[in-house]
């Protein structure tokens, strides 16, 4: 029997593109999670696909809601925010672009490149999804509990929801300044994992360390949204690196992470947007390693206590990645959070 959604419920949010194989594995792992029936699972899509819809519609273990990104490339294949035939090609020299008068010829990115719709869509989708769920959906716009962010190529351990509650309790006691709980790490599990370590690390939130399997509440979203102008105009097509930037340049206090040393959310999508061509895509092998690790670590799941450690992040200048200099992207992004 499904539990009613309350302020103590966890809102799970999955950003989905078109990789149904990975999505099936994520859903399978979610179905085995402790207390999953007490959650609301929201899928945010930027690609409409009958197979994916059938996969989502088959879920019976918790309440499910689907939302669809209205500014997707699929809906606008030959115009912005897709690729307009008159757009400047990524590697066009700026002098040549001026002669051609292709669209946005006067705004190449920090590395002299022009926009690529497939990359720009990811940041747009994340921003729209967050605003939609925090501000507009009837079932969530007044929710004050945790919002837990996942992607279609993630995989969760059976006790991930239990660990989230445990971390929240520990952070309430020992780190009131911590505003993002992190249960994931990007390293792909290529061998068995030991779950004996119950350490949590307190540190500044850093994109490359803390952008996966993260949970935060409405007050943290308000801090992020209050920096929307900088987020939407910062020349980086990555939503997470843009949050990293506003954390250091816009907020009164940097975002603080409370992260598990031994993760409960794993990245199984070896082949994706940022993958090198020489990486072997062996998702079945990764899943097999994870399942074996879970089975051999049953006695170590659901720990009663957590041990706190600290990490100091150097105050270095983070290098922007470009891909986000087109004024049309800036305007679309800003308009998404204009109530």
Q: What single-letter DSSP state applies at residue 136?
A: I
Residue 228 lies in a domain: yes
| Residues 158-190: b if buried by 16+ CB within 10 A, e if exposed | bbbbbbbbbbbebbeeebeebbbbbbbbeebbe
Q: What is the pLDDT of residues 288-323, one digit of tens each?
A: 989 999 998 888 999 999 999 999 988 877 889 999
Residue 306, Cβ neighbours under 10 Å: how many?
18
Q: What is the pLDDT of residues 44-81, one digit of tens each?
A: 999 999 999 999 999 999 999 999 999 999 999 999 99
Average model confidence (pLDDT) across the chain: 93
Is the bond leading into 81 cis (omega within 30 degrees of zero)? yes
Mean of pLDDT values over 29-40: 97
Tell me, rounded to whole angstroms, the distance of Cα 51 from its chain centroid: 23
Residue 70 lies in a domain: yes
Tell whether 123 is in a known binding site: yes
Residue 202: C-alpha distances to residues 55, 117, 243, 256, 313 (Å):
37, 36, 18, 7, 10
Q: Give the whole-angstrom CA distance, residue 231 versus residue 330.
A: 9
Tell whether 143 is in a known binding site: no
Tell whether 17 is in a known binding site: yes
Tell whether 328 is in a known binding site: no
- Confidence (pLDDT) at 277: 46
Range with the lowest mean pLDDT among 4-13, 125-134, 234-243? Answer: 4-13
- Confidence (pLDDT) at 197: 85
Residue 139: phi, psi to the nearest 5? Answer: -75, -20
Mean of pLDDT values over 11-34: 97
Residue 221 lies in a domain: yes
Tell whether 24 is in a known binding site: no
- Confidence (pLDDT) at 107: 96
Nearest to 40 by CA among 158, 137, 166, 177: 137
Range with the lowest mean pLDDT among 69-73, 130-134, 184-188, 328-332? Answer: 184-188
Q: Is 263 left (phi over 0), alpha (psi -120 to 50) or beta?
A: beta
Residue 6 lies in a domain: no
Nearest to 10 by CA among 120, 150, 123: 150
Structure tokens at 59: 């879920």
Q: What is the pLDDT of residues 259-281, one digit of tens each?
A: 999 999 999 987 655 444 445 56
Residue 108 lies in a domain: yes
- At residue 1 the predicted structure's pLDDT band, cuts being 50, 70 and 90, is confident
- Confidence (pLDDT) at 315: 81
Q: Give the whole-angstrom CA distance, residue 286 versus residue 191.
A: 8
Tell whether 186 is in a known binding site: no
Tell whether 38 is in a known binding site: no
Nearest to 273 by CA among 13, 22, 12: 22
- Confidence (pLDDT) at 274: 46
Tell whether 18 is in a known binding site: yes
Mean of pLDDT values over 202-230: 97
**Containing structural domain, residue 98:** 11-336
Tell whether 19 is in a known binding site: yes
Q: Strands of the chain (E only): list them.
A: 11-16, 40-45, 63-68, 147-151, 154-156, 180-182, 184-185, 199-204, 214-216, 256-260, 265-267, 307-310
Tell whether 154 is in a known binding site: no
Residue 2 lies in a domain: no
> Number of structural domains, the chain?
1
Please tell me which residue, 286 or 228, carries the higher pLDDT value. Answer: 228
Tell whether 95 is in a known binding site: no
Q: Give the whole-angstrom CA distance, residue 11 versus residue 19.
A: 22
State whether the Cα torsion 318-324-326-329 is positive or negative.
Answer: negative
Mean of pLDDT values over 82-108: 96
Tell whether 274 is in a known binding site: no
Q: Give the ranges where 94-217 is alpha helix by DSSP (H).
A: 94-100, 117-131, 160-174, 207-210
Q: In the chain, what is the straight-line distance between the N-terminal and C-terminal CA atoms, in Å? A: 37
| pTM, entire model | 0.94
Mean of pLDDT values over 203-214: 95
Residue 1 lies in a domain: no
182 by DSSP, 3-state: which? strand
pLDDT at 195 over 60: yes
Residue 1: C-alpha distances to residues 65, 182, 319, 323 (Å):
17, 29, 49, 47
pLDDT at 162 over 70: yes
Residue 180: phi, psi to the nearest 5? Answer: -135, 120
- Confidence (pLDDT) at 241: 97
Tell whether 121 is in a known binding site: yes
Q: What is the pLDDT of residues 218-269, one digit of tens each?
A: 999 999 999 999 999 999 999 999 999 999 999 999 999 999 999 999 999 8
Residue 218 lies in a domain: yes
Report strand pairing: 184-185 vs 40-45. Answer: unpaired
CATH of the domain at 297: 3.90.550.10
């Amino acid at each position: 029997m499904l539990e009613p959604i309350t302020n103590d419920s966890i809102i799970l949010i999955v950003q989905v593109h078109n990789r149904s194989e990975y999505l099936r594995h994520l859903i399978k792992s979610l179905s085995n999670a402790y207390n999953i029936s007490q959650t609301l699972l929201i899928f945010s899509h930027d690609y409409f696909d009958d197979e994916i819809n059938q996969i989502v519609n088959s879920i019976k273990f918790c309440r499910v809601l689907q939302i669809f990104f209205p500014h997707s490339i699929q809906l606008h294949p030959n115009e912005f925010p897709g690729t307009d035939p008159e757009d400047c090609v990524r590697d066009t020299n700026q002098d040549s672009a001026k002669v051609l008068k292709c669209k946005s010829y006067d705004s190449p990115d920090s590395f002299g490149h022009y926009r690529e719709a497939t990359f720009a869509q990811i940041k747009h989708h994340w921003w729209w999804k967050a605003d939609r769920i925090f501000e507009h959906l009837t079932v969530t716009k007044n929710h004050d509990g945790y919002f837990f962010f996942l992607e279609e190529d993630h995989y969760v351990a059976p006790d991930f929801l239990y660990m989230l509650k445990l971390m929240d309790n520990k952070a309430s006691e020992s780190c009131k300044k911590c505003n993002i709980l992190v249960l994931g790490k990007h390293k792909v599990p290529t061998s068995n994992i030991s779950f004996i370590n119950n350490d949590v690390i307190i540190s500044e939130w850093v994109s490359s360390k803390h952008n996966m399997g993260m949970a935060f509440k409405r007050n943290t979203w308000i801090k992020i949204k209050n920096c929307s102008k900088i987020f939407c105009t910062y020349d980086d097509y990555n939503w997470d690196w843009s949050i990293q930037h506003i954390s250091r340049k816009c907020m009164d206090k940097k975002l603080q992470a409370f992260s598990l040393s031994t993760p409960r959310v794993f990245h199984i999508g070896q082949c994706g947007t940022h993958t090198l061509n020489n990486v072997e895509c062996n998702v079945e092998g990764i899943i097999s390693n994870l399942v074996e690790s879970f089975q051999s670590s049953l006695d170590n799941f659901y720990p009663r206590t957590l041990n706190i450690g600290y990490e100091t992040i150097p105050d270095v200048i983070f290098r922007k990645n470009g891909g986000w200099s087109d004024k049309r992207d800036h305007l679309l992004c800003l308009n998404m959070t204009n109530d």
